[in-house]
Amino acid sequence: MPEPPNDFSIFDGRSVLVTGGTGSFGRSFVRTLLERSDVARLIVFSRDELKQHEMQAALGTVERLRYFLGDVRDRERLYRAFVGVDVVVHAAALKQIPAAEYNPFEFVKTNILGAQNIIDAAIDRGVERVVALSTDKASSPINLYGATKLVSDKLFVSGNAYAGSAATRFAVVRYGNVVGSRGSVVPHLRGLAPGETFRLTDPRMTRFWITLDQAVGFVARAASCMRGGEIFVPKLPSMKLTDLVDALAPEARVETIGVRPGEKLHEEMISVDEARRTFDLGEHYVIRPEIDWDGRDDLAGVAVAEGFAYASDTNPEWLGRDELLALLEG
């Protein structure tokens, strides 16, 4: 996916809050907004005081930057945090697939009930725009994490109808694995010594890949052009996990252990059923809401072909070793 143009002017003069602001995406997004926009106030909302302290130490004293301790499960805390906020980027979530299979109620509380809390607080506090981050696991989910994110996506899309005559609008951004993010396989592979063992689930496995900078730019683009109810999907390259290992740890010993609970061989960002509402806008796709709640008929884009699906194994764009290394160096 090419680097997007500067869409960060949408944040100029506005008050912006980022849930999960101390995570990999949140830190990158906050840093980029401070560098590339004239944001009036930028609020990091997260539940970990240590990570907030470390982030504050790394960024230094920035007059426009605020830190707000809280959890998206806490509706009242969100109501307090959203006072005077114009734009919310919702990046807070529980994400680890194996953990979700053994702790389903915790994932429901954060990913589903937390989404409902965000929607209620945004509408009642007069937030203009909310962009919620999703995942390729939400398309045709087979694991608990993906199922909670699918429900979250549907809540945010329907939140536009729930808002009624209020000005608040909601949209979703759905993308694949983030290269080098916290918990990613990439840092683990790069840290392996020659001859050390890497446990590969299945040699056939493929994944979509996006860099943090690309993710940040795409979220800014979605915030800039959203009208409410869209799911924005970037066009990303795929890569086989075996090629990833060959590129980053060529001297590692590979041990195949089988697919873990809740994992797919290949990921999907647009299902065949969603394709009926999907439009190609060149560098990205837009899935329009199933219920045409505002009678829109003037949106750009070309409808995708009948039977279209956007999956990591049938993706026409692939990452090779050199392209991956160039992404990491960039």
pLDDT tens profile 22-70 = 999 999 999 999 999 999 999 999 999 999 999 999 999 999 999 999 9
Pair of tokens at residue 116: 């409902």
CATH number for the domain spanning 134: value is: 3.40.50.720
Task: Name which residue leads in pLDDT, 103 or 6.
Answer: 103
Can you give the length of the chain in residues?
A: 330
- Check whether 172 has a pLDDT greater than 60: yes
pLDDT band at 183 (very low <50, low <70, confident <90, very high): low
Domain assignment present for residue 109? The answer is yes
Tell me what pLDDT residue 6 has. 57
**What pLDDT score does 4 carry?**
45
Domain assignment present for 214: yes
pLDDT of 321 reads 82
Contact yes or no for 268/309 (Cβ under 8 A): yes
- Provide the annotated active-site residues: 137
| pLDDT tens-digit series, residues 210-240 | 999 999 999 999 999 999 999 999 999 999 9
Does the residue 113 lie in any domain? yes
What is residue 5's predicted lDDT score, i.e. its pLDDT? Answer: 47
Number of structural domains in the chain: 1
> Could you say which DSSP state residue 266 is in?
S
pTM: 0.93
pLDDT above 70 coverage of the chain, percent: 95
Q: Is the pLDDT of residue 193 over 60?
A: yes
Q: Are strands 87-90 and 169-173 parallel, antiparallel or unpaired?
A: unpaired
Average of per-residue pLDDT across 98-127: 97
Q: What are phi and psi of 253, to 5 degrees?
A: -90, 125
Q: What is the pLDDT, as a whole number, of residue 293?
A: 64
Is 90 exceeded by the pLDDT of residue 95?
yes
Residue 200 lies in a domain: no
Mean predicted lDDT score pLDDT of the chain: 92
Of 117-126, 171-180, 252-261, give the lowest mean pLDDT range. Answer: 252-261
pLDDT at 248: 85
Tokens representing residue 163 in the block = 């808002």
The SS3 call for residue 105 is helix
300 located within any domain: yes
Asked if residue 17 has pLDDT above 60, the reply is yes
**Whether residue 2 has pLDDT greater than 70:** no
Neighbours of 279 (CB within 10 A): 17
Q: How far apart are CA 42 and CA 274, in angstroms?
A: 34
Higher model confidence: residue 324 or residue 160? 160
Q: What is the mean pLDDT of residues 132-157?
A: 97
Least confident span in 10-14, 133-137, 163-167, 313-317: 163-167
Range of the domain at 227: 9-176+210-235+268-309
pLDDT at 3: 45
pLDDT band of residue 329 (cuts 50, 70, 90) is confident
Whether residue 324 has pLDDT greater than 90: no
Give, in order, the Cα–Cα distances in Å from 106 to each of 68, 71, 75, 90, 96: 22, 13, 16, 18, 12
Look at residue 127 in the predicted model and tell me its pLDDT: 98
Is residue 255 within 8 A of residue 197, CB to CB? The reply is yes
Residue 79 domain-assigned (yes or no): yes
Residue type for 112, please?
Answer: I
Is residue 74's pLDDT more than 80? yes
For residue 181, being part of any structural domain is answered with no
| pLDDT average, residue stretch 267-276 | 96
Residue 326, domain member (yes or no) = no
Is the model's pLDDT at 199 over the cut of 90?
Answer: no
